[in-house]
């Protein structure tokens, strides 16, 4: 029996902008089982990024509830959110977001720097993660010495290094050519096969087709939820 890794009820997000209140999410009910591979889709401004930020505990919600692995995280402190991001969630961004002055290896080590309690053998673990994305021989390279696809692989290795339950990828192929994008999608798909929950946020239907479940968000609500 699979248990839900994510469950939200009537998730509402409002934030002020230039004196007006924007309602980005207007009541999202969503349940994602552990080990799923799904895409959150929608045009820009649909609220899919806001949804991802809240699911990724980068942002707080205004109303409703959010349970992550059965734990109610609706209104927890900034500090607790940081700890949960560190231990449960791995991020992959469109722009890779690697530290430009650190080597690939140091970038992968970064999440372990903030892991509590601290662990030994972070070097070995980081090397293993790099190996799993096929970049063991690029460990001492700086991001600018790597191609876009390689940089994204480093970012994925970084997302994996603390053994998260959930990988959140925001337009992971957006800055890559089709072929490289495809390779990255294959890599993410293989993570899903290893049992990790992978959520991809994208506006690209091509990418959506590669996943098992697609959620379509428009104007802050889910208008479609289809599964293969």
Partner 1 sequence: MNIWLTALRLAIGSLRAYKVRSFLTMLGIIIGIGSVIVMINVGRGAEVNIQEQIRNLGSNMLMIFSGSSRSGGVRGGFGTKPSLRVKDAEAIARECPAVAEVTYSIVKNMQIVAGNSNWGTSVQGTTPEYRLVRNWPVKYGEFINAHHMKSAASVVVLGSAVAENLFESWEDVIGQKIRINNFPFRIIGVMNSKGRTPAGRDQDDVVFVPYTTAMRKLMGSRLPGVVHFIGVSAHSKQLVAEAKREVEELLRQRHRILTEADDDFTLRTLDEIAAASEKTGNIMTLLLTSVAAVSLVVGGIGIMNVMLVSVTERTREIGIRMAVGARERDVLIQFLVESTTMSFVGGLLGILLGIGASRAITHLAKWPTIISIDAIFLATLFSAAVGIFFGFYPARKAASLDPIEALNYE
Binding site for partner 1 (CB under 8 A): 53, 56, 58-59, 78-79, 82-83, 85-87, 91, 93, 97-99, 101, 110-111, 113-115, 118, 158, 162
The residue among 162 and 202 lying less far from partner 1, judged by its C-beta, is 162
Q: Are 130 and 138 in contact (CB under 8 A)?
A: yes
Q: Compute the least distance from the CB of residue 88 to partner 1, in Å.
A: 10
Minimum distance, C-beta of residue 142 to partner 1, in the bound complex (Å):
11
Q: Using the Cα atoms of residue 132, residue 135, residue 139 and residue 145 in order, give the sign of their dihedral.
A: negative
Distance of alpha carbon 149 from the chain centroid: 17
Q: Which is nearer to partner 1, 50 or 214 (CB)?
A: 50
Cα distances (Å, whole numbers) of residue 78 to 29, 52, 73, 82, 83: 24, 17, 11, 6, 9
Find the shortest distance in angstroms from Cβ 10 to partner 1: 22
CB of 52 to partner 1, least distance (A): 10
Q: Which is nearer to partner 1, 71 or 113 (CB)?
A: 113
How far is the C-alpha of 71 from the C-alpha of 67, rounded, in Å?
A: 5
Of 49 and 132, which has the nearer Cβ to partner 1? 49
Q: What is the secondary structure of 84-134 as a DSSP string?
A: HHHHHEEEE-TT----TTS-HHHHHHHHHHT-SS--S-HHHHHHHHHHHTT
Nearer to partner 1, 68 or 210 (CB): 68
Q: Please report how close the Cβ of residue 85 comes to partner 1 at its closest, in angstroms.
A: 5
117-146 burial: b if 16+ Cβ within 10 Å, else e: eeeeebeebbbebbebbebeebbebbbeeb
Report in angstroms how near the CB of residue 116 gets to partner 1 at its nearest. 9
Closer Cβ to partner 1, 33 or 175, answer by number: 175
């Amino acid at each position: 029996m699979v248990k839900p890794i994510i469950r939200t009820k009537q998730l509402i997000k409002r934030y002020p902008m230039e004196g007006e209140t924007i309602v980005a999410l207007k009541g999202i009910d969503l349940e994602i089982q552990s080990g799923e591979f799904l895409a959150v889709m929608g045009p820009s401004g649909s609220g899919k990024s806001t949804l991802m930020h809240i699911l990724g505990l980068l942002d707080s919600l205004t109303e409703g509830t959010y349970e992550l692995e059965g734990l109610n995280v609706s209104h927890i402190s900034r500090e607790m959110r940081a700890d949960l991001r560190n231990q449960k969630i791995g991020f992959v961004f469109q722009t890779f977001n690697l530290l430009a002055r650190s080597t690939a290896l140091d970038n992968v080590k970064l999440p372990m720097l903030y892991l509590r309690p601290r662990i030994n053998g972070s070097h070995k673990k980081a090397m293993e993660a790099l190996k799993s994305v096929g970049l063991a021989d690029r460990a001492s390279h700086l991001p600018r010495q790597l191609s876009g696809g390689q940089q994204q692989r480093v970012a994925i290795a970084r997302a994996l290094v603390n053994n998260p339950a959930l990988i959140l990828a925001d337009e992971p192929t957006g800055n890559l050519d089709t072929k490289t994008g495809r390779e990255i999608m294959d890599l993410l798909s293989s993570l899903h096969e290893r049992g990790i929950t992978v959520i991809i946020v994208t506006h690209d239907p091509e990418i959506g087709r590669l996943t098992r479940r697609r959620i379509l968000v428009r104007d802050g609500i889910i208008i479609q939820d289809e599964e293969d």
